[in-house]
A and B are shown apart, each in its own frame.
Chain A
Amino acid sequence: MRGSLSMITSVRHILLLTVKELRAIRGDKLMLALIVYVFTIATYMVSYAVSTDIKDLSTAVVDEDHSILSRRLADVVQPPLFAAPVQLDPKEAEAALKRGDHVLILSIPPNFERDLRAGRNATLELDIDATAVAHAGNGATFMTSLLSEEISRYFDLPGRGAGLVDVVFRNRYNPNLTPEWFTSVMQLMNSITILTLILSGASMIREREHGTIEHVLVMPVRPHEIVVSKILATALVILAATVLSLIFVVEFLIGVPVAGSLGLFVAGSAIYIAAIASIGLLLASFTRSMGQFGLLVIPVIIVMILLSGGMTPLESMPAWLQAVILTISPSPHFVRFTQSVLYRGSGFGLVGGEMLAMSAMSAAALAIVLLRFRKILSA
């Protein structure tokens, strides 16, 4: 009886404090403006701009042959994979590659076609700016394949390319490998990470600097009620922004078909946001001022974003780093969750594990925050 009564009181307190936190967020116009910017303009721009697939790769051709074949080869270089090629002098080519003007430069040597027709071996040169690591490899593969096919076709040769076996590529979940489908949702996750971490951490530091947390603790309010209300308020705001952004920006504007259940996605996002908010509070509990918090939160944000599996495949990381990241950061779990639910239309059974992992991280972070609560105050 007594237990359930105090439970009700606790929930009441949490709700009251959550309303207070929401009012605080509403009062900060700059913060609201930044939240809107991140979930609309930034999401839209990043979705279209940033993709690691081969699209409009800037390419140049150095044609010293000037034959029909060399022109046919230059025509291979065309959108959508490559940007319309720029013709370069051999002398300019080196400098252009160094400046980073082009990622690929195809050089066709003099007398290329004549040599081939005379039965002599000839070599095409493909210079790749290998500092563009995300694009150089695939770009070269596609280019080589296209060039081979074109030469075979020109001389009507059988047997090169995939000629003996016809392969039908069927990309599941994203038939045309449209990059925006992927980047938009990953950008959504990045936005959640940046905003939630700072918002929740700052709410704690601000209260400590203004002495209001001390004031609240004199009242019959328990530390967990304060902490939970902060997470709840941050989560409500960010979750609302996320869902709106998913529906209006990602689905409507960018046109990503959402395969799975929106309800499940919202549930998983809520868990992710709660986990990030808990980590924000945890970071705040180790710092005393915004100056310290800012310096701590930046590396955390960057690691969470870049090593989430949303930028580069998680499997490419060294095994030890994968293990570390999967243990301390909820973001790779959320990336897996999102990919499963939004693209593959998976149900709870397939993503329950990821949701559990994120919940566990949230709980662990909160436990440490609560243990440190008194210490935070006396510091």
Chain B
Amino acid sequence: MGWACELEGVGHRYGPAVALDDVHLQIPAGVMAGLIGPDGVGKSTLLALLAGVRRLQAGRIVTLGTDIASARARASIMPRIAYMPQGLGRNLYPTLSVRENLDFFGRLFGQPASERAERIAMLLEATGLDPFPDRPAGKLSGGMKQKLSLCCALIHDPALLILDEPTTGVDPLSRRQFWELIDRMRVRMPSMSVIVATAYMEEAERFDWLAAVNGGRIISSGSPQELKNIAGADTLEEAFVNLLPESERGRHRPVELRPRKQRPEADPAISATGLTKRFGDFTAVDNVSFEIEEGEIFGFLGSNGCGKSTTMKMLTGLLEPTEGETRLFGKRLANADMEARLGIGYMSQSFSLYSELTVRQNLALHARLYGGAVTRVDDVLQEFDLADVADQQPESLPLGIRQRLQLAVATIHEPRILILDEPTSGVDPVARDSFWRKLISLSRDKGVTIFISTHFMNEAERCDRVSLMHAGKVLAVGTPAELTEKRGNSTLEEAFIGWLEDETGERATEPAGEVAFTPDRKDKNRPLTRLWAYASRETLELMRDPVRLFFAFMGPAILLFTIGYGISFDVDHITFAVYDQDQSPESRRLSEQFTSIRQFDEGPPISSPAEIDTRMGRGTLTVALEIPSGFGRDLHRGHVPEVSLWVDGSMPFRAETAHGYVLGVLNLFSDLLAKESGRAAGAAVSIETRYRFNQAFKSAYAMVPSVVMLILMLTPAIMAAIGVAREKETGTIANFRSTPVTRLEFLTGKQLPYIAVAVLNFWTLYLMGRLLFGVPFTGNLFALFTVSVIYVIATTGLGQLVSSFTRTQVSAVFATAVITIIPTVNFSGLIVPVSSLTPSSQLLGKMFPGAWYQEVSVGSFVKAYGWSDMGWSAAMLCAFVVIYLALSVLALRKQER
């Protein structure tokens, strides 16, 4: 027997926290090997290191006979490893169908279409997913999601399959089906090595080889029987506890359920009658009724997506039932009933506390919001054993402790009812037991009614009563003993699986038809197929998001429409008034000169100097002409009379333009007087002004091509900015890390659809400019199109670059918007020609693609630009493409730190 993986002196830290400490381990090949241990002991870190998705910090790891220290070595074994990260369907794409998800993974491993089709058909059949190849992955139940994840992992026939807690949060039937599926696959692929991390000890019993992990170290390894022998225990669960160091073991004792004081005459704590919830035409919860007594622990079981969470949300008042009603202690629960909320503690399925607050701050916030005293926070910190981590942020804590924090928060206001939605999902046995002791003490000592959903059968057995739900309906209710007896089974688990099988008609048996694998180990290096995998997937995701698609196409059109009409440098409707102290024919003549040009709107005359102040202060007067008394007389005498012109300077552009108009008016006036008095003499000089490229001097002719520059900068950048950050946030980035796809293929593939959208945007904007705004086109359209394509490759590249640096989508959008809007609006020639900017602003503008494209766009529309006029700009834009891509590749890490 060889080794699947060998570790020597492997260590790993996250900042100051030690996750793995000098681990030496040899994991046998060709068997099912398991890592068992509580949360936060380093199991996931270890698996990620083995798979090569996390960067090795210290020590040496040989996976499948290859030292994975170098990138080249990792690339060579990547096609032989499959890695399924922790979390239900976390590496799946929820809007893609079952078949599309599988297709994507097939492409990542460079499989041609025919091979993919064959393998997908075989895997769907083997897993029983074949009836729903077209169902979106997001709409599958938890068990089906895990099966699909497994199919995706197996599509390339891996020699090593790494599964990180694959059955966490999955109901018992699906869990059993999952393991049977693994067994069948192993029969078909006998040489495949499987390494699994799990918190379910009963599952670990069926593995060939186990390593018990605690505190970043391996505390024991061997077959399950060997481990039990070493520890001198009957069950693995016990064995594990015995193997723990003395200090930790002391805390563990079995959970006991004490009898409950019955109070039959009281109103039931929770009474639901005919609860129904429909979303559109989908009935999530169908006519569910039950009564729960005060102090009772009521267990809620059922497969994922059967309506458990929806029912719980209706009991808390979060969701309004479509039909039926809930009564709490006899009082009907209304939607915004604040008093009822004081009596309920709720813990939702996913961690939903503020990750930006510390443990203590979270508790204090909740205590205060419930109107309670903050002094209770310290008690609760002690009571829930959270004092050590009080000043840490929840994100840095292991799942088990986070769940304990959630429970602490849910009970901080001492509610009479606790509604807990899978509070122990993914929590290790030791932590779960302490959690349950807490619950039992709340129920028995304080009379708190507890409504809890779980997938663990040993937890269900601790409930006073349990109910089994499937597809929105309650199948059975009773005490655990009653239910087991009713089905004639020996355990509650068997009983439940029986009920579920009856209901679904699903049998966990081998489907008919044996399809053999055709092992094909040729090295398939197909960069284009992998690139296309990302391109087609990104396209599908975009197509499935109609809102995003709508904004992507309509946003630019609306923007050009409003800005094309809205931005105009024609200054008219200048409010104008005269303060005529002379009232002579000459003064009236001068005022008439002003009102005769259309840009001036004459307002009522001014009667006092103070009036100028008030009217300008209010913004109702822009230009005021003050003619002093004696104006006409002076003019007649050949003196040069002085008039004053008051201009509102609060908008300099308008003031300056008004200034220009006034100069023109005065020239006319002087010419007129000169002609009358016959004083004009000598030869005439005419100044011929030619408005080039835009004879009519229309703002739209220049603005439309510039706005094209603006839009094709911002929209593509924002679209692409989401790309990488979203994968990081949802966890699908694991697929990039664990498959042979390169950084270049990943980035280019994801960029392609957005380039396509942006190119379509270009044509929309071009046509709008030509047809709607009547902008002439004098240049070479093909040349403009070519440079535009380069431009949008650069702008999408910029978005992707920001995305590669940021961790969240929020930061990516924020940073992209701030970084792109300011230089594009101000320094790229939209309003001020780049040639008239200060040198530093010119430089800043030219550091972004917009400034280079602006002249190409404007030039092509109105300046008859051809290829030769835009060569330099095109070259610069190409440089942007290369630089952005290179920086993105550098910023994006193939391995997690």
Contact = CB atoms under 8 A, between A and B. Distances in A.
Interface string B582-621: 0000000010000000000000000000000000111100
Contact of B551 (A37, A216, A292, A336): A292
Interface string B76-118: 0000000000000000000000000000000000000000000
A83 B842 CA distance: 15
Contacts of B679: 158-159
Contact of B644 (A42, A54, A141, A168): A168
Contact of B657 (A20, A42, A138, A307): A138
Contacts of A45: 826, 840-841, 844
B649 A339 contact: no
Which of B351, B666, B685, B693: most chain A CB closer than 10 A? B685
B230 interface: no
B368 A16 contact: yes
Contacts of B250: none
Given A164-B673, A313-B654, A211 B685 contact: no
Nearest to A222: B336
Interface string B538-572: 00000001011001100110110011011111111
B133 interface: no
Interface stretch (A113-121, A232-240, A242-250, A269-277): A113-121
A78 interface: no
A126 B688 CA distance: 6
B692 A97 contact: yes
Chain A: interface size category: 35 or more
A179 B811 CA distance: 34
B841 A122 contact: no
A128 B646 contact: no
Interface in B320-335: 320
B685 A194 contact: no
Contacts of B692: 97, 127-130
Contact of B686 (A57, A123, A133, A311): A123
Contacts of B131: none
Contacts of A19: 365
A14 B654 CA distance: 44
A216 B346 CA distance: 10
A19 B354 CA distance: 12
Interface stretch (B24-32, B189-197, B635-643, B875-883): B635-643
Interface in A130-181: 130-138, 140-142, 144-145, 147-148, 151, 155, 157-175, 177-179, 181
A134 B832 contact: yes
B548 A212 contact: no
Which of A116, A118, A174: most chain B CB closer than 10 A? A174
B55 to A, nearest CB: 23
A125 B635 CA distance: 34
Interface string B249-269: 000000000000000000000
A175 B649 contact: yes
A33 to B, nearest CB: 9
A318 interface: yes
B719 A295 contact: yes
A307 B660 contact: no
Given A31-B811, A299-B558, A46 B822 contact: yes
Interface string B643-679: 1111111111111110111111011011101100001
B452 interface: no
Given A27-B356, A119-B683, A218-B344, A179 B813 contact: no
A367 interface: no
B369 interface: yes
Contacts of A163: 640, 670
Interface in A342-362: 343-346, 350
B817 A298 contact: yes
B555 A299 contact: yes
Interface stretch (B121-129, B789-797, B858-866): B858-866
Nearest to A95: B869
A37 B365 CA distance: 32
Interface in A171-193: 171-175, 177-179, 181-182, 190
A126 B689 contact: yes
A301 B684 contact: no
A376 interface: no
A227 interface: no
A34 B565 contact: no
B521 to A, nearest CB: 39
Nearest to A171: B649
B855 interface: yes
B650 A295 contact: no
Which of A119, A165, A181, A318: most chain B CB closer than 10 A? A165
Contact of A131 (B653, B659, B694, B825): B694
B627 to A, nearest CB: 10
B664 to A, nearest CB: 7
Which of A56, A129, A163: most chain B CB closer than 10 A? A129
Nearest to B662: A167
B567 A160 contact: no
B821 A215 contact: no
Contacts, number: 471
B547 A292 contact: yes
Contacts of A294: 718-719, 721-722, 809, 813, 816-817
B479 interface: no
A28 interface: yes
A302 interface: yes
A377 B318 contact: yes
A161 B664 CA distance: 9
A68 to B, nearest CB: 15
Contact of A98 (B565, B691, B815, B859): B859
Interface in A7-49: 9, 12-13, 16-17, 19-20, 23-24, 27-28, 30-31, 34, 37-38, 42, 45-46, 48-49
Contacts of A129: 692-693, 833
A137 B356 contact: no
A146 to B, nearest CB: 10
B73 interface: no
Contact of B619 (A28, A100, A190, A339): A339
B522 interface: no
Nearest to B541: A291
Interface stretch (B437-445, B504-512, B697-705): B697-705
B316 A291 contact: no
A165 B669 contact: yes
Given A20-B357, A211-B350, A49 B342 contact: no
A133 B832 CA distance: 9
A312 B568 contact: yes
Given A124-B688, A220-B341, A321-B565, A177 B655 contact: yes
Nearest to A287: B547
A111 interface: no
B563 A302 contact: yes
B818 A28 contact: no
B545 A165 contact: no
Contacts of A120: 683
A195 interface: yes
Interface string B383-395: 0000000000000
A340 B619 contact: yes
Contacts of B869: 98-99
Contacts of B674: 158-159, 164
B655 A50 contact: no
A214 B318 contact: yes
Interface string A49-81: 111111111100000000000000000000000
Per CB-CB distance, the 4 closest pairs between chain A and chain B, nearest first, are A174-B649, A49-B841, A130-B694, A171-B649
11 contacts: A16-B369, A48-B838, A51-B652, A53-B652, A98-B864, A100-B835, A148-B667, A167-B643, A168-B643, A302-B559, A339-B619
Given A13-B369, A50-B841, A130-B695, 16 more contacts: A23-B361, A49-B827, A53-B656, A124-B688, A127-B692, A133-B703, A134-B832, A145-B667, A159-B679, A169-B662, A172-B616, A218-B341, A219-B369, A295-B718, A302-B710, A306-B567
